[in-house]
């Protein structure tokens, strides 16, 4: 029986011209499926602006493979955590805890996490990856 329960604080956002922080969280729920136990992951964001923005990005024609999203997410999480080690220079970034780069979170969650990073870089204009990330066509 595979039991994985962990919480992850993924991202903090700063609302425009305020010091209020927004939080995203990767939550894990144990789910019983027939005879096998499985784990279901969920990305919770606490920024209504991201949820509205993300709903406009759901274009199946633009969708990539789960491997594509997982590869970029590993890079983004590593860069995010590196920035979080210097809170004086990078006060926006808090460490992402509990993200396992070898865990397969599925296409839906991997895509949403990837687009959250795109939201931070392209909408909030806060660079994460040195040299920028992938060139994604956003709505």
Q: What is the pLDDT of residues 25-80, one digit of tens each?
A: 555 544 444 444 466 777 766 678 998 899 888 776 577 899 999 999 999 999 99
What the block records as the tokens of 121 is 């870089």
Please give the share of the chain, as a percent, with pLDDT higher than 90. Answer: 37
Q: Which residue has the higher pLDDT, 18 or 70?
A: 70
Per-residue pLDDT, 25: 52
Taking the CA of residue 99 as centre, how many other CA atoms within 13 Å lie in the half-sphere pointing to its CB? 24
The mean pLDDT of 78-103, rounded to a whole number, is 89
What the block records as the tokens of 9 is 């604080």
Strand order in the sheet with 7-14: 7-14, 21-33, 36-45
pLDDT band at residue 16, thresholds of 50, 70 and 90?
A: very low
Q: Which residues of 29-49 are buried (b: 16+ CB within 10 A; e: fewer)?
A: eeeeeeeeeeeebebebebee
């Amino acid at each position: 029986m595979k039991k994985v329960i962990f919480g992850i604080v993924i991202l903090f956002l700063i609302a425009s011209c305020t010091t209020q922080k927004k939080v995203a969280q990767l939550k894990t729920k144990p789910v019983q499926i027939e005879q096998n136990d499985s784990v279901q992951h969920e990305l919770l964001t606490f920024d209504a602006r991201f949820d509205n923005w993300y709903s406009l990005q759901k274009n199946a024609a633009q969708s990539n493979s789960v491997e594509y999203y997982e590869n970029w997410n590993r890079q983004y999480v590593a860069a995010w955590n590196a920035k979080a080690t210097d809170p004086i220079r990078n006060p926006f970034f808090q460490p992402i805890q509990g993200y396992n780069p070898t865990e397969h979170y599925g296409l839906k969650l991997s895509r949403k996490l990837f687009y959250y990073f795109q939201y931070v870089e392209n909408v909030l204009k806060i660079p994460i990856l040195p040299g920028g990330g992938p060139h994604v066509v956003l709505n």
